[in-house]
A and B are shown apart, each in its own frame.
Chain A
């Protein structure tokens, strides 16, 4: 096992990939959340416009 033979090398590259994976995951979650709120905002705006048009 690499972790037994070269522990420092193993942990150094594990740290690199874990940090990058966590950061990419955080960005991905943020994009998903923003897209959801953008879609929700657009929907409520279009339904709001429909309501105001019908009132006029």
Chain B
């Protein structure tokens, strides 16, 4: 079992590393410069791919948190913590790359009148609180509180997506590349597909590694408890 796990982890790491390399090659060497935005449009590939990967991680948080609240399973709680933490890291990448793109496109780091940016910032703050709570909170209470916060955070994901859908086209500042039929050149799609595959694999790998860390932490706590008991007796 342990041998299979090691082989699986090496295989996934190799696949993730290879996909990241190929995606970078496509983004910087194959894709032509976009006509309006120029070279900075290349931020789009890892920005959107990171967003999709963080939404996938938050979907895992949602399912694992509900499972924990229903069954009080330690595994579900550990998975929820792992996916929440990795999702938060990817969310930070999305926010940072989006701000850098905004600085180039709009000449400002952040636009408070843009609902998608504000709702995404709220999502980032929810998962910042989730990560802080799970790492520094009272261990006897954080599992339940963290699960509820995780569910609330995951529910915010569709809100981020639809936040600009009700605005008139003229008021939408956030680019909607795919919805508006952008990415005409086939190489744009290849680079985008590879970036999504790379970030999704990396996300799955990081969640799995972080889950193993959680299991290891529980083992250390159990060992400490059993040591205490044996000294007590």
Which residues of A pack against B, CB within 8 Å? 5-6, 8-9, 11-13, 15-16, 19-20, 23-24, 27, 30-31, 34-35, 37-38, 41-42, 44-45, 48, 52
Q: Measured between C-beta atoms, what is the minimum distance from B105 to chain A in Å?
A: 9
* Contact, CB under 8 Å: A19 / B92: yes
Q: Measured between C-beta atoms, what is the minimum distance from B111 to chain A in Å?
A: 16
Contact of A48 among B93, B97, B227 (CB under 8 A): B227
* Contact, CB under 8 Å: A45 / B223: yes
With contact pairs A38-B219, A45-B226 given, residues A20 and B89 touching in the complex (Cβ less than 8 Å): yes
Contact of B224 among A8, A41, A48 (CB under 8 A): A41
Number of A-B pairs, beta carbon distance below 8 Å? 76
* Contact, CB under 8 Å: B46 / A16: yes
* Contact, CB under 8 Å: B100 / A11: yes
With contact pairs A15-B100, A38-B220 given, residues A9 and B40 touching in the complex (Cβ less than 8 Å): yes
Can you report 9 A-B residue pairs in the complex whose CB atoms are below 8 A from each other?
Answer: A8-B40, A12-B97, A16-B46, A19-B89, A19-B92, A35-B216, A37-B220, A41-B223, A48-B231
Q: Please measure, in the bound complex, the distance between the C-alpha atom of A3 and the C-alpha atom of B150, giving whole angstroms.
A: 38
Q: Which of B115-123, B136-144, B179-187, B205-213 interfaces with chain A?
A: B205-213
B209 contact set on A, CB distance < 8 A: 27
In the A-B complex, the 7 residue pairs with the smallest Cβ-Cβ separation, listed nearest first, are A8-B104, A41-B223, A12-B100, A12-B43, A34-B216, A15-B96, A6-B39
Q: List the B residue with the shortest CB-CB distance to A45.
A: B227
Q: Please measure, in the bound complex, the distance between the C-alpha atom of A12 and the C-alpha atom of B230, giving whole angstroms.
A: 54
* Contact, CB under 8 Å: A15 / B93: yes
Contact of B42 among A9, A11, A31 (CB under 8 A): A9
* Contact, CB under 8 Å: B206 / A23: yes
A23 contact set on B, CB distance < 8 A: 86, 89, 206
A24 contact set on B, CB distance < 8 A: 206
Q: Please measure, in the bound complex, the distance between the C-alpha atom of A8 and the C-alpha atom of B47, giving whole angstroms.
A: 13
Q: Please measure, in the bound complex, the distance between the C-alpha atom of A49 and the C-alpha atom of B196, giving whole angstroms.
A: 52
Contact of B97 among A16, A30, A31, A41 (CB under 8 A): A16
Contact of A34 among B39, B46, B217, B227 (CB under 8 A): B217
B216 contact set on A, CB distance < 8 A: 31, 34-35, 38
With contact pairs A34-B220, A41-B220 given, residues A16 and B93 touching in the complex (Cβ less than 8 Å): yes
Q: Please measure, in the bound complex, the distance between the C-alpha atom of A24 and the C-alpha atom of B89, giving whole angstroms.
A: 10
Contact of A19 among B96, B104, B212 (CB under 8 A): B96
B230 contact set on A, CB distance < 8 A: 45, 48, 52
Q: Please measure, in the bound complex, the distance between the C-alpha atom of A34 and the C-alpha atom of B209, giving whole angstroms.
A: 13
Q: Please measure, in the bound complex, the distance between the C-alpha atom of A15 and the C-alpha atom of B93, giving whole angstroms.
A: 7
